[in-house]
A and B are shown apart, each in its own frame.
Chain A
């Protein structure tokens, strides 16, 4: 059977590439620290030696619109073009062509249907920055085949937080049952508190630092009970009108299971807080050493982060 070697859940920040490749005189003060943290996070994936990436993201009205917006969708292609014109324009993200893995896409799709998740599917999916941002940060060579999974965190009505957790659990079950000797990593991005187009956007910090600290604790301790007790569509909206991307992080925790994370790092930026989290479901020495090295390099930790502690050091 296939081996799930790593689960990565992080925020996606489309300005990362621009911010860290700008000429020195135009660089934001945190650019070097941000780059160091991202490169350290990348090592936590490299150590898992993946052959295939199952990637979770959400289309931001780039391909899909309100005439037909999929709630959950899987790509089923040999190749995927990526990055739309307006993402190049606004974020300076380059175009990519990623390889797909049609066999795993088909296996995943059938498994999802069998388990009660009636997915939409696409044979002409173009990938947006929700999946290209983590390619840029954790696999910049873009040399591995991907299986893209999209969720609706964007166009209400949205599925419940519980549904995202359940979907993660099912994806894990399907990966574990995949008859292959390949190593698979699951990588998904979303958001902590985030505001777009409203009064709390582009502030000095994210719109709700308290939620961010709490969310990192819940995720890094695998505490799904606390999430389901405290996180609703309304509570996320009160933390910032685009905070619902947090549900993709709940999905990733669902893939990892109710377990402590093996690597946690974060960075308080203007507009939003970055979070970098990795679980190793089948941890070996090499992975543990990589996480420890990255934590030392970037100022992260190799286990859970609790809200009070994070607040005290922020």
Chain B
């Protein structure tokens, strides 16, 4: 036992001190945060280009009615100027030429021509303006014809945006506000993290075993310790490296999350985001009782309802269980081969269930109670990833316990099998063994 500790300590300290570990650990949350927050930040940045758009209105419906905003000015031009401008819009001082044909009211189509690409924002802004003018005209016509007083206001008041709240009802009848979106996001993140950790640290185990075999230090070491101790010391040591990395990510994640919580409700930024949202949305939406920023706030506040201690506890369990299961197989592969190139043949049966898990996970986060999600979260080879993706949605206790027990039983069995391959493999040099030979190694007396 003491010797496993020594081995574990060496495996742990040499890896944690590596520059690559420190860089990856610090950089990962920053990259993740950047991926999540940069698009929001860019969206909130205003389009600050001054533009003048020439408008030729053949239908005369809009003459003087396209109001210039502070950045975009509309200038109505007569037909002769339009004909001249049509040919060389690029050389003119106008940014674009908006053409409304005389038969606009039947075609309902306008054209905009420009020398450059028209931003999506501007395009939808123009579209909205024209649409709302038309709607107003039609409304006025209806009001005039029916002659009902205050009809306009009455119709306006029929527009009622609604909100759908999903409530999770517990067995004892208490209910909690839940969010399917949050569940999906967390399920995806945690499932994917297990996948990444199993691969990252599983191959680290394999490389470590191969390093010992290639440098021939293994014979020196196993004259001091049992091969099983060496294998377990390595596997557990590397597991602790993974847990350390995860713990650091949680701490950094909380720090970044805490920072971003303060970041969104900030008033001036809120205003900016609102501006952007308004430009994009239907002008009518302006009257909506709920400003869009609240959605982001709501999303953040909803994370409060997530049972993070349970998720993190389960994550640690399923990470360890999945990792132990797979890393012992990776260790056996590393022991059986002499060179990295030989790894492929033995890697395939290990990587297949991991990749299958990721595919099942994608559908499990959409339908976490489905039978596919259920069965794959029970099978030990796929359960760490699939079950982890289901947990944020809430999983019945019996399923969780069954899945965990199956996983524990399987990895104990797997460690027993792989340790037997390992102790023979590390001393075998030369020819790459066949599957049959690996099978025979199981029966060797230690």
A and B associate: no
On B, residues with C-beta under 8 Å from A are none
